């Protein structure tokens, strides 16, 4: 699933592969802080990106972080084992195997002050706020809430979450969308309908995949980041500051929007199984050849529709 990040007011989004199979990471785009200098190894099964730092989760539960580290966002706790990861503006959020949370890095708004409990199942980071989904399908949020991005709606009918720059987006159990927080660019004006299956959030724009595999986008469109390509074969999406990235069911990638740093120059091939978008860079996960049969499963392998908690 996805999400995003910032340092200042810039934001980043990412989508982490949920495949149980391991592979290696490729990266492209801006590399000012080494955010594209991926570590060696073919045992990664999840990826995530913050504003200018990147994360890779290995199959043994260990975590590797690289890129900008001014606030300690790449200082992974020693000996820790994790089940999921998310990158924010200058901080990192992680989900432990027991369902508890850990966070480190920039904490000027309490974005690293994680709530207690062992009932969390999904995590997302915005610029300076965080979201978590509990196993009873309710939400909790913490960090900067100046724009209402942490004012989560009541209820326990949420199935997916995404955090943008200063806004949040949620997918409901009936397939509809709800957004809250900053709305200067219409990023909280969610499209109508109850056929949405996947969501992600960028700095000021959002992407969603409908149950038929087609894309929709809304919010800021100054660089064409909301001009989604046609087709109904999309299974994953990720949103950066002003660019968008999508994974197709045939394992190929498509990107559009701002391309100042080559972040939309996707690598060729159709062997990708996971994507993540940082501020101005991207990550993708490539499995070992023996696991490529997953792609033959099409959207059922990666597209998560109406996830049951």
Tokens of 148: 């209402």
Q: Pick from 244, 286, 281: which is nearest to 34 by CA? A: 281
Residue 268, in any domain of the structure: yes
| Calpha distance 161→61 (Å, rounded) | 23
What pLDDT does 239 receive?
98
What pLDDT does 19 receive?
47
Please give the model's pTM, rounded to 2 decimal places. Answer: 0.89
| Region 33-39 average pLDDT | 98
| Region 111-125 average pLDDT | 98
Count how many domains the chain has.
Answer: 1
Residue 143, in any domain of the structure: yes
Residue 309, in any domain of the structure: no
| Region 56-78 average pLDDT | 97
Provide CB contacts within 8 A for 270, sequence distance 6+. Answer: 248, 250, 251, 252, 295
| Calpha distance 68→71 (Å, rounded) | 8
| Calpha distance 136→140 (Å, rounded) | 11
What pLDDT does 288 receive?
76
- The string of pLDDT tens digits covering residues 160-177 is 999 999 999 999 999 999
Calculate what percentage of the chain has a pLDDT beyond 70: 87
In 70-204, DSSP assigns E strands to 84-87, 91-95, 101-105, 120-125, 129-134, 139-143, 158-163, 167-172, 177-181, 196-201
Residue 79, in any domain of the structure: yes
What pLDDT does 20 receive?
58
| Region 292-300 average pLDDT | 33
Residue 200, in any domain of the structure: yes
Residue 208 maps to which CATH number? 2.130.10.30
Tokens of 171: 């997918």
| Region 128-133 average pLDDT | 98
296 burial class (0-12, 13-18, 19+ CB within 10 angstroms)?
exposed
Instruction: List the 274-277 sheet strands across, edge first.
Output: 63-67, 53-58, 44-49, 23-29, 281-287, 274-277
Q: Are 152 and 31 in contact (CB under 8 A)?
A: no
Q: In whole numbers, what is the pLDDT of the chain averaged over residues?
A: 89
| Calpha distance 125→48 (Å, rounded) | 10
Query: Is the pLDDT at 157 greater than 60, yes or no?
Result: yes
* CB burial string 228-264: b at 16+ within 10 A, e below: beeeeebbbbbbbbbbbbbbbbebbbbbbbbbebbbb
Query: Is the pLDDT at 292 greater than 90, yes or no?
Result: no
Query: Is the pLDDT at 265 greater than 80, yes or no?
Result: yes
| Calpha distance 306→196 (Å, rounded) | 9
| Calpha distance 175→210 (Å, rounded) | 9
Could you list the residue range(s) of the whole structural domain that residue 251 is in? 2-302
- The string of pLDDT tens digits covering residues 180-219 is 999 999 999 999 999 999 999 999 999 999 999 999 999 9
Residue 262, in any domain of the structure: yes
Residue 256, in any domain of the structure: yes
Query: Is the pLDDT at 297 greater than 60, yes or no?
Result: no
Q: CA distances (Å), 46 to each of 94, 107, 162, 166, 210, in order?
A: 12, 24, 17, 25, 23
The residue written with tokens 């200098």 in the block is: 37
Residue 307, in any domain of the structure: no
| Calpha distance 74→123 (Å, rounded) | 18
* CB burial string 65-77: b at 16+ within 10 A, e below: bbbbbebbbbebe
């Amino acid at each position: 699933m996805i999400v995003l990040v910032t340092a200042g007011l810039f934001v980043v989004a990412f989508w982490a592969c949920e495949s149980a199979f391991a592979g290696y990471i490729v990266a492209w785009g801006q590399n000012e802080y080494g955010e594209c200098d991926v570590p060696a190894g073919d045992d990664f099964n999840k990826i995530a990106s913050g504003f200018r730092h990147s994360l890779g989760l290995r199959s043994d539960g260990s975590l590797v972080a690289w890129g900008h580290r001014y606030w300690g966002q790449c200082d992974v706790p020693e000996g820790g084992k994790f089940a999921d990861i998310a990158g924010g503006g200058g901080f990192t959020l992680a989900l432990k195997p027991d369902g508890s949370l850990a966070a480190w890095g920039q904490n000027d708004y309490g974005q690293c002050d994680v709530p207690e409990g062992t009932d969390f199942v999904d995590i997302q980071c915005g610029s300076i706020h965080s979201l978590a989904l509990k196993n009873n399908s309710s939400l909790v949020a913490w960090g900067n809430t100046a724009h209402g991005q942490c004012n989560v709606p009541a209820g326990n009918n949420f199935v997916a979450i995404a955090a943008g720059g200063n806004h949040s987006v949620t997918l409901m159990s009936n397939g509809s969308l709800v957004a809250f927080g900053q709305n200067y660019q219409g990023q909280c004006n969610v499209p109508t309908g109850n056929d949405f299956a996947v969501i992600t959030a960028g700095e000021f724009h959002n992407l969603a995949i409908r149950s038929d595999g087609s894309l929709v986008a809304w919010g800021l469109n100054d660089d064409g980041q909301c001009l989604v390509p046609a087709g109904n074969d999309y299974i994953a999406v990720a949103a950066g500051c002003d660019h968008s990235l999508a994974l197709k069911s045939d394992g190929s990638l498509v990107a559009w929007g701002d391309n100042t740093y080559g972040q939309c120059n996707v690598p060729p091939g159709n062997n990708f199984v996971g994507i993540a978008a940082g501020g101005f860079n991207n990550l993708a996960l490539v499995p070992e050849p023996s696991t490529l049969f997953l792609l033959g499963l099409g959207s059922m392998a990666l597209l998560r529709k109406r996830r049951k908690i």
